[in-house]
Structure 1
Amino acid sequence: MFCDKEFILIISFLFVSHVYCNEGQFSTSKRLQYKNRVKQMFYHAYDSYLKYAYPYDELRPLTCDGYDTWGSYSLSLVDAIDTLATLGNSTEFSRVYTIIQSLDIERDINVSVFETNIRVIGGLLSAHLLAKRMNVSVNSTWPCTGPLLDLAVALANKLLPAFDTETGIPYGTINLVWGVPIGETNITCTAGGGTFLIEFGTISRLTGDPKYERAALKALRALWSKRSSINLIGNHINIQTGEWTANDCTIGTGVDSYFEYLVKGALLFRHPELMDMMNEYIKAIDTHMSDGSGWFVFANYQQGRKTMPLFASLDAFYPGLLTLLGKLDRARETLYAYHTMWRKYGSMPEFYNLAQQECMQGREGYPLRPEHIESIMYLSKATDDDTLLFMAADIFDSIESCCKTSCGYTSLKNVKDHQLDNRMESFFLAETIKYLYLIFDENNFLHANGEYATEHRTASGSCFLDTGYVYNTEAHPIDIGSLDCCTSSPFDETSSDVFEKNSLSKEQIRWLGNILLNQDKEELHAVIKKNYSLLTCSALTFEQRFSLYGEILT
């Protein structure tokens, strides 16, 4: 399909290297400059939303007004609250924390199960877990109780009926009063069925009620069970019959966050089987979908035959996922390839035909998506490569130049002529700006690597906060250590879904002794006696915690 793969790969590396080769080192002062400029970007967007669009879901930056999109939740406010925490604005965080406690979820409206989960429940849970750090007054039973946790649980309860299907894969739409709408389609995308574990698992760990995590795990396992003999999956499925209704496997559109939640779910909740699943998928993706030059194309899930030479902007999350798995060379190769497209257009089209080297007709827009920036953030943190900082600055300058209006920032209708659209999706505040800011703010608390922790006492004993964070697919950070604060094992011992006990086996102790080269055995055993979780132990660095399943992030 592509004539000279090695040549294309070399060209992409040379192109990116040449663009930034004369830039030198990304100085500390330049990093601070961009950090402050990103902060200004956030407040221009956020203040414009408050002034022109609140309480609607989203801002329309050309007409300077607002409208509802995903359920009339004042969505941009909910999505932005943990970005306020990221920027250290505890005053505004506290104000918004109080406001969103009054969200009305008792309304006769149909909402997206997927979007409500990742944006609203994810935002509520993240804000709940950041409340103490942001100097919000919390009660003595926090983080096991709290008003935003209560609201997240209530909303999750409204979504649960969607999971009552033959496969356990949820419907795509729910009515907040009546449940699944009459006549609702049985077809959902793979990501729509497999992107619940981070939020639902967090609720189960904080409340001790296993039903949420079980529902999410059942859906993940159901999708895995429907893979083909070559370990690929389609991108849409019938939730009752389990039959694939769209046979193209992609790494992005319709599938992306399913892969993401396998990896992050394994890390957050100690489910190694999920990491095993993802490793099998990666082998199949490399075999059947890679073009050999950093790009991945559509392939038939049964035959492995490449079907369409398309790049979708959602594919851009994949280098970040590869980084989490320790596959840094592959991540860099793909990220560099993707950035050549950003350099071509000053943005990234929704779909691009790699064979024709042209945007797909009707899909030329750029809706301020974060995925490329997200991958740069992960790889930059893992490698300390200044080239990635120049890439991030490149992206910031493009958005500032092409998308800024007097009332915020707007999507592009067409990347070729930079024609403006009239929409600022809530994920611009939740993800795009947050990831940009984190790239330039190297000392942000969200970069915690497990070296330090804050001990917190609850009725269940001690837990350790601020050891590290895992982001849901809307960039809402979940404090890993908080999940051990409220209960150690809410599932009964006979369940196949039993939570792992917060203890270390002899094999794990031996493994830790081998890997912690700079820590003597007596100190190691002292750590173990404190009953730290293997993934949240403050004696383990970020890289070592991510090596639990043999995938070391270096």
Structure 2
Amino acid sequence: MKLPALLLLIVITWCHCDTQSDMDSYRRQVKEMFQHAYDNYLLHAFPHDELAPISCVGVDTWGSFSLTLLDALDTLVVMGNQSEFRRAYQLALQQHLSFNIDTNTSVFEANIRVVGGLLSAHLLSARGGIPVPPGWPCEGPLLSMAESLARRLLPAFDTPTGLPYGSVNLRYGVSPGETPLTCTSCCASYIVEFGVLSRLTGDTVFEDVALRAIHALWNRRSTIGLVGNHINVLTGEWKATDFTVGNFVDSYLEYLVKGGILLRRPELLEMFHDLYQQASRYSKLHDWFVSVNMNTGQISSPYYYALDAYWPGLLSMVGELPQAEKSFIKPYSIWRSLGVLPEMFNIADGKPVAKHEAYHLRPELAESTWYLFRATKNPFYLEVGKAMIHSIQNISRVNCGYATVKNSLTHVLADRMESYFLAETTKYLYLLFDPDNFLNQQDAITHKHVEHLHYDARMLRSGCTVGSTGYILTTEAHPIDTGIIHCCGMKNKPTQVNTCNKRPFSSRLQLSLT
């Protein structure tokens, strides 16, 4: 079926699941999906990183972290399972007294999955029924674990540019033969987790290195204001010059918005708006956003990437709702055609790209579905969520969990269940059908909050609050309380890492951040 015909189908499809009983039913289905995957991980795979759901065995993928457990901790709280959260909390403490491990790991993945998961679980511990110490939120065992791991990631940032290496050995630092070639997202997607660490521990080193990396990329934009997708962290030379809002660049753009809101840094939002303006000028093609050369703006490939599906949700955060909804229809039309969203889709011929037909249980389309429903209340997005639940249940469910779809055309499965299925995909679908959830009741992810950050000095001066100013979800969907992170004083500890040169505010943003 060709995409234009599908668009008509999508327009006339309407949701019949907006009654309370239907909402309850789909919420229970998603909770059962999570529980099926989680229980089988603990039974067959723990303490390994991930579950191979077809062979029902555990595998280590990113560093022997018990990754799926740590990534799923806050999902237990979001779904209201306090008793299991308390048990998993204790399992995490028993497994990870130290990250002094002789293993190489991705700096990016360790940060968003493990550091982010630990920080979120730490901040949600009281809600999850954990007795917190008197110094909480400025101290706690999960916070100490997050800080321990983050310190072992810091050697990666010791480069002439301030851009981090892609991998680091947690015991010995950067390996002598480590490649200096790293993706844009891998370089500059640390400001949320590292910023939270600095605000809670009082040590500025984490926020400093994250900001330095952001500015290092910003200062290397092309003459038309775009960035590439891979760079040499030693020389600052771009090695892959395609700009895209998705693959290899996505979380950099995402964290300019979320970091700006969370840490009350309007200059980061200004950076995003500048990049968005240029992306709209050069990358937008009939409401698709495609890859273009960062120097010329010429289209370099007519491909849509599964990771691009986060983009409508991010646009909704900054108030670009008409464009967000138009951009959402594009990936959803692919999903309706194939039952899943392949890693790469050729827009020109309407087919998945050969050797990139897989669906890795990614959350990005569910993520945008939730954001757009929160922003519009249009029941169409509930219908989208229902269709996604049915597809995942019918295609990916196996005896020990949920399996990657190796081929989106044949629906042949592969023996992999990424930890983000429990951290993100099930969480976003659950939230879609749980209007009374605390993340839906107090939600700091709408364009109104972005506007306030730009124009409302009172918000910028607001101090410590707990659970009342809303939440930002990290790129791994770990909820961070936007007020509680400002409850701990910065100690301004001296560090060996140079701080970045902060970009000057424009005159309209000369607001106090204290």
- TM-score by length of structure 1 reads 0.84
Structure 2, unaligned runs of 5 or more: 445-462, 503-507
Question: Structure 1's 335 and 25: CA in aligned 2 closer, same or farther, altered over 3 A?
Answer: same
The one-letter amino acid of 1:183's match is G
Q: How does 1:47-446 map to 2 (within 5 A)?
A: 47-102=39-94, 103=96, 104-292=98-286, 294-446=287-439
Tell me how far apart the structure 2 counterparts of residues 360 and 465 of structure 1 sit (CA, whole Å). 44
- Give the drift of 1:266: 0.4
Where does residue 457 of structure 2 map in the other structure? Answer: none
Tell me how far apart the structure 2 counterparts of residues 190 and 391 of structure 1 sit (CA, whole Å). 31
Question: Structure 1's 24 and 396: CA in aligned 2 closer, same or farther, altered over 3 A?
Answer: closer
Question: Structure 1's 157 and 237: CA in aligned 2 closer, same or farther, altered over 3 A?
Answer: same
1:197-245 alpha-carbon deviations (Å, 9 max, x no partner): 1110000000111110010000011111111111111100011111110
1:421-450 alpha-carbon deviations (Å, 9 max, x no partner): 111100000000000000000110112337
Q: Secondary structure at the match of 2:132?
A: coil
Question: Structure 1's 323 and 252: CA in aligned 2 closer, same or farther, altered over 3 A?
Answer: same
Tell me how far apart the structure 2 counterparts of residues 176 and 73 of structure 1 sit (CA, whole Å). 11
The one-letter amino acid of 2:178's match is E
Question: Structure 1's 491 and 302: CA in aligned 2 closer, same or farther, altered over 3 A?
Answer: farther
Where does residue 484 of structure 1 map in the other structure? Answer: 486
Tell me how far apart the structure 2 counterparts of residues 506 and 311 of structure 1 sit (CA, whole Å). 36
Q: Secondary structure at the match of 2:284?
A: coil
- Give the drift of 1:134: 1.1
Tell me how far apart the structure 1 counterparts of residues 490 and 67 of structure 2 sit (CA, whole Å). 33
Contact 2:226 2:295 in 1 (8 A): yes
Tell me how far apart the structure 1 counterparts of residues 274 and 501 of structure 2 sit (CA, whole Å). 22
Tell me how far apart the structure 1 counterparts of residues 330 and 351 of structure 2 sit (CA, whole Å). 15
Where does residue 541 of structure 1 map in the other structure? Answer: none
Contact 2:162 2:213 in 1 (8 A): yes
- Give the drift of 1:15: 2.9
Tell me how far apart the structure 2 counterparts of residues 232 and 496 of structure 1 sit (CA, whole Å). 20
- Give the drift of 1:12: 6.1
Contact 1:107 1:177 in 2 (8 A): yes
Where does residue 39 of structure 1 map in the other structure? Answer: 31
Higher RCO (C-alpha 8 Å, min separation 6): 2
Contact 1:110 1:174 in 2 (8 A): yes
1:233-263 alpha-carbon deviations (Å, 9 max, x no partner): 1100011111110011111111100000000
- Give the drift of 1:9: 9.8
- Give the drift of 1:29: 1.3
Where does residue 465 of structure 1 map in the other structure? Answer: 467
The one-letter amino acid of 1:188's match is T
Contact 2:165 2:179 in 1 (8 A): yes
Contact 2:185 2:252 in 1 (8 A): yes
Tell me how far apart the structure 1 counterparts of residues 164 and 490 of structure 2 sit (CA, whole Å). 28
Tell me how far apart the structure 1 counterparts of residues 226 and 45 of structure 2 sit (CA, whole Å). 43
Tell me how far apart the structure 1 counterparts of residues 265 and 501 of structure 2 sit (CA, whole Å). 9
Question: Structure 1's 497 and 287: CA in aligned 2 closer, same or farther, altered over 3 A?
Answer: closer
Question: Structure 1's 251 and 345: CA in aligned 2 closer, same or farther, altered over 3 A?
Answer: same
Tell me how far apart the structure 1 counterparts of residues 481 and 367 of structure 2 sit (CA, whole Å). 18
- Give the drift of 1:483: 1.2
The one-letter amino acid of 1:126's match is S
- Give the drift of 1:343: 0.3
Tell me how far apart the structure 2 counterparts of residues 377 and 287 of structure 1 sit (CA, whole Å). 27
Contact 2:158 2:164 in 1 (8 A): yes
Contact 1:12 1:336 in 2 (8 A): no
- Give the drift of 1:107: 1.4
Tell me how far apart the structure 2 counterparts of residues 179 and 245 of structure 1 sit (CA, whole Å). 24
Runs of 4+ with >4 A deviation: 8-13, 488-492, 495-498, 505-509
The one-letter amino acid of 1:447's match is N
1:274-301 alpha-carbon deviations (Å, 9 max, x no partner): 1111101111111111112x21111000
Q: Secondary structure at the match of 2:466?
A: strand
- Give the drift of 1:465: 2.7
Question: Structure 1's 74 and 349: CA in aligned 2 closer, same or farther, altered over 3 A?
Answer: same
Question: Structure 1's 184 and 39: CA in aligned 2 closer, same or farther, altered over 3 A?
Answer: same
Tell me how far apart the structure 2 counterparts of residues 163 and 506 of structure 1 sit (CA, whole Å). 29
How many residues in Structure 1 have an aligned counterpart in Structure 2?
486
Question: Structure 1's 25 and 439: CA in aligned 2 closer, same or farther, altered over 3 A?
Answer: closer
- Give the drift of 1:357: 1.3
Higher-Rg member (1/2): 1
- Give the drift of 1:17: 1.4
1:480-531 alpha-carbon deviations (Å, 9 max, x no partner): 1111111268589xx8879xxxxxx99979xxxxxxxxxxxxxxxxxxxxxx
The one-letter amino acid of 2:329's match is Y
Contact 1:52 1:64 in 2 (8 A): yes
The one-letter amino acid of 2:59's match is Y
- Give the drift of 1:14: 2.9
Tell me how far apart the structure 2 counterparts of residues 59 and 86 of structure 1 sit (CA, whole Å). 22
Contact 1:351 1:360 in 2 (8 A): yes
Contact 1:448 1:469 in 2 (8 A): no
The one-letter amino acid of 2:123's match is L
Contact 1:447 1:469 in 2 (8 A): no
